[in-house]
Structure 1
Amino acid sequence: MSGKIHLSKYFNKHYIIGDLLGDGAFGFVLTAIRIADSTEVAIKFISKSKIPDDSWVDDPHIGRVPQEIAILNSINHPNIINFVEYINEDDYILLITELHGTEWDSSNPLLNPIKNPGLRLAKHQKPDEFKTDQEKVIRKRTSCDLFECIDTKITKATTQKIFAQIVLAIYYLHSLNIVHRDLKDENIVIDENYHVKLIDFGSASYIPKHPENYFTRFNGTTHFASPEIVKKKAYRGPEAEIWSLGVLLFTIVFGENPFQNKDEIMEGKYIFPSKIDPGKYINKKNKTFYYYYLCNII
């Protein structure tokens, strides 16, 4: 981003760097234009020095790569981001995937206030004279993820459409003995037609077959973590992911997370937002959050 990373001749021959999508502990994500067909893609720059030793695998088709790349290369689902290729640079592994989603900003001409009600106001942009040199070169793109989308008032039908797609993606992964392990609204990108795709497989892994191999490390977001994870117990994966789906559904419906701290997660204690009739969302028989109120189309 600062111009200090020298990319290979192969990369410069095939891609042109675009906007910044995000950054974190692993590295950062940029958009790029594929020169061959002018298609816009997403490129995740994964710092080799930050990839744990046990996260490298020998894939029979693409060689020794981080497990994230091996998993993405082996799956194909309409609600999971598509793998394009990877490039092995000096200090980084470049994971290239399709770019999906619409910038959730009312200034975006693709969005329609009638079709997409409750749009946020456009974010104030700094004039060019106040931007740093780096900001002038790399534009920070407004997020295309579900975290931004659910800042709007979403109808029941739209909620059903969104959540059904997420469940289908997770069901598909579990059928292949894969767990995502970082399911949250920020890892789901969404377009103006509410078509969603799951992204960021940096924590994804295969479901362990034996208790002695259960996961003990959690790299996800605490608000979406299940009680056993919060209690730092070993966990298999799919059960914890079902819990995360419930948290995600609550977040989509009400625009906020059901749990504010670890104690509430461990107790399974959540409070509905004010002016909400709990009777509409609670299963009267077992007093649990009523999934089927919203998910009867699945």
Structure 2
Amino acid sequence: MNLVMSQANINLKIDSEHLSTSSSSSSSSTESAYQENYYSEEEENYVESEIETDDDECKTQCDLDLINFSSYINRNLTEKQMRDLFYKDYSIGKEIGKGGFGTIFSGIKNSTNQLVALKVIRKTNVTQWYNLDISDDFIYEMDERQDVLVTRRIPLEIALMIRVRNVKNCIKILDYLEQKNCFIIVMERYEYSKDLFDYITEMSYKSTTNGLGENLAKEYFKQIVETVLAIKNLGVLHRDIKDENILIDLKTNQVKLIDFGAGTFTNTQKSSKYTEFYGTRVYSPPEWLVNKSYHGDRAAVWSLGVLLFNMIYGDIPWEEDDDILNCRLTTKKNLFTHDTNRSELGLFNFNKDVDNLIQSCLKINENERIKLEDILNHKWFN
């Protein structure tokens, strides 16, 4: 595999499979019961906040800004010249993570000794692209040299990261590079950090109760909800909120939302529903499993409910589609099962306010869920 990292003697074996959303489907009887009991064709009027549709001139300027954000692409350089310049700027270390969308390496920016992470995404693994609106004159000028790599589109993930780069609790993109077969995203990296999945596991082993404990869970969850609201105001949906996509800075206790590979810009079409999903199955809402469509905000609230349950009780509440559709709560540790209505469930010995918030997020009828904007006003935070 001839990628940019070959000069650093790193053997890149990037997983060619993206996160699957095609696990076994629910039984027809379960779907029928869900639709009959919980889903109404005549939904209440629902208006999701949207970014304004850019006019052509504005979009062209925004897209040029996306191009100019990179220190390397479309600079009248050959691919080899860009690669050599990149190696001059960065020293690449060991692999520190891998997912369906790419492989991540540690690195250092040589001029400042800043710690960075470098995400390598093969073009064949990109599931969502952002088409750049670049003038014909610009393209023609670059195309005059056949050895120059001309960028006409970039992974949507890069466009999203650039849009949210000033949100304090989002991992910050610093630069990006295109090569013939891949893109490389340069991001900030913290010396002492851990993703929330590992942190919950570690804390569960250390304490007599599962999960993080209520006070720490509240501190982290508040930051996460604030971040989801902040990126929504910028017209961005993450669509894969889960413990593995939350990074904890162990020095400051600040959370960072990472991995925008499943994300999208807010739907500016008349319909506010989405009909594609690249996130994680066990965090997906029941309306997606049944109807293959969902509202962005409502799906985010559902994912936040699953995440909060995990933070409090140390495990996700379900693993199978039938469990989600029936709101039957189970855990890998067999802490409990419950087959009745979610609102009747009483959970362990924690503050009943947190249980109420979990229940409010995990309403199987999406119209009954707490609104994203109302989560931080819930009595658990007061």
Give the TM-score range, shorter chain. Answer: 0.7 to 0.9
Structure 1 counterpart SS, 2:294: coil
Out of 115, 128, 143, the residue aligned to residue 40 of structure 1 is 115
Distance 1:187 1:282, change over 3 A: closer
Which residue type is aligned with residue 179 of structure 1? L
In structure 1, what is the Cα distance between the partners aligned to 2:361 and 2:271? 32
Residue 214 of structure 1: how far off its partner (Å): 3.4
Shift of 1:295: 4.2
Given candidates 185, 190, 199, the residue that maps to 1:149 is 199
1:296 paired to 2:381: yes
Q: Report the 3-state secondary structure (helix = DSSP H, G, I; strand = E; otherwise coil) of the residue aligned with 1:264.
A: helix
Whichever residue aligns with residue 177 of structure 1, its letter is: G
Aligned residue in 2 for 1:169: 227
Distance in 1 between residues matched to 2:105 and 2:300, nearest whole Å:
28
Shift of 1:92: 1.0
Instruction: Please point out which of 245, 253, 258 is paired with 1:194.
Output: 253
Q: CA deviation at 1:288?
A: 4.8
Give the count of matched residue pairs: 254
1 CA distance for matches of 2:160 and 2:225? 19
2:155 maps to amino acid: P
Q: Which of 4, 11, 16 is equivalent to 1:2?
A: 11
Percent identity (aligned): 31
What is the TM-score when the length of structure 1 is the normalising length? 0.75
Deviations 1:14-59 (A, max 9, x none): 111112121233231111111011111011101112223x523317
Aligned mates of 2:108, 2:240 — CA distance in 1 = 28
Measured in 2, the distance between the counterparts of 1:216 and 1:101 equals 39
Distance of 1:28 and 1:267 partners within structure 2: 36
Is 1:251 the counterpart of 2:341? The answer is: no
CA contact (8 A) 1:80 1:199 kept: yes
Q: In the aligned structure 1, how far is the partner of 2:183 from the partner of 2:92?
A: 16
CA distance in 2, matches of 1:146, 1:233: 28
Whichever of the two has the greater Rg, that structure is 2
1:276 to 1:180, Cα distance in 2 relative to 1, 3 A: same
Match of 1:80 among 137, 149, 170: 170
User: 2: distance between equivalents of 1:287 and 1:182?
Assistant: 20
Tell me, yes or no, if structure 1 residue 97 matches structure 2 residue 147: no
Give the number of the structure with larger relative contact order, counting CA–CA contacts within 8 Å between residues 6 or more apart: 2
Mean Cα deviation higher: 1-10 or 232-241? 1-10
Distance 1:93 1:31 in 2: 16
Q: Report the structure, 1 or 2, having the larger helix content.
A: 2
Aligned pair 1:268/2:342, yes or no? no
In the alignment, the residues of structure 1 paired with residue 380 and residue 238 of structure 2 have an alpha-carbon distance, to the nearest angstrom, of 21
Shift of 1:223: 1.3
Of 219, 237, 246 in structure 1, the residue corresponding to residue 296 of structure 2 is 237
Task: Check conservation: 2:90, 2:107, Cα contact below 8 A.
Answer: yes
Native 8 Å contact 1:156 1:294 kept in 2: no
Distance 1:295 1:34, change over 3 A: farther
- Of 152, 155, 160 in structure 2, the residue corresponding to residue 71 of structure 1 is 160
From 82, 88, 91, the counterpart of 1:16: 91
The offset of 1:287, in angstroms, is 6.5
Closer/same/farther in 2, CA of residues 93 and 59 from structure 1, 3 Å limit: farther
Unaligned runs of 5+ in 1: 104-143
Compared CA separation, residues 16 and 276, structure 1 to 2 (3 A)? same
Q: Distance in 1 between matches of 2:199 and 2:191?
A: 10
Shift of 1:149: 0.7
Kept in 2: contact 1:45–1:92 (CA 8 A): yes
Contact 2:231 2:237 in 1 (8 A): yes
Deviations 1:186-229 (A, max 9, x none): 00110223211000001110121346573222211111111112
- Name the CA shift for 1:236/1:210 in 2 (closer, same or farther; >3 Å): farther
User: What secondary structure, in the 3-state scheme, does the structure 2 residue paired with 1:183 have?
Assistant: coil
Does residue 50 of the first structure (1) align with residue 125 of the second (2)? Answer: yes
Unaligned runs of 5+ in 2: 1-9, 15-79, 135-150, 337-346, 363-374
* Partner SS, residue 70 of structure 1: helix
